[in-house]
Amino acid sequence: MTAAQQAKLNLQQKRYIQQHKENEDFKNYHTKIAAIAGGPIEVEFDWATVEQGLLTDSFENMFLNNGNNIREWFLLNFESGLKKVCTDDMSKEAFRDKIKKVKFIHAQEGGLKLENDTLVFATNLHGNGSPGPDSIKSFLEENL
């Protein structure tokens, strides 16, 4: 594939991204996080990084499991990890005091980092690394 061909998503890739953008699980994820954290938390999905991932590599791994890998690796992993931390009022308050926004990105290396009051949740959607619930729990407990 030439660089010119890689510059734009093909129709299948565009549909793949759009189905996730329009999915209620993604559109309403902030309400689920707010319920776990005991208050409002902004949620951002960096779709440009997902699109870049589709352009720079084949997306067979992203498309496995009926395209649910994005849902599983972004939403379910983070939700499970957050539930392990936000078990009482003290932990919920600590989370809300420190983190105002959670940003989900596709990246070469999966991991978590704090950028001011934003928690960046990086997942390699090609199947090469996503923070699991236990690593999310450990990271948050060490940083809250």
Q: How far is CA 120 from the centre of its chain?
A: 8
**Which tokens sit at 8?**
């734009």
Of 81, 75, 92, residue with least CA distance to 28: 75
DSSP 93-108: HHHHHH-SEEEEEE-S
Strand partners, 104: 45, 121
Give the pLDDT of the chain (144 residues) as one tens digit per residue. 444 444 688 888 788 889 888 989 899 999 999 999 999 999 999 999 888 877 766 555 555 445 566 777 788 899 999 999 999 999 999 999 999 999 999 888 889 999 999 999 998 877 667 899 999 999 999 999
**Which tokens sit at 38?**
């005991």
Please tell me the distance from the alpha carbon of residue 131 to that of residue 111, in angstroms, as a whole number. 6
- Cα 47 to Cα 17, 44, 103, 104, 141, distances in angstroms: 8, 9, 11, 9, 28
Query: pTM value?
Result: 0.86
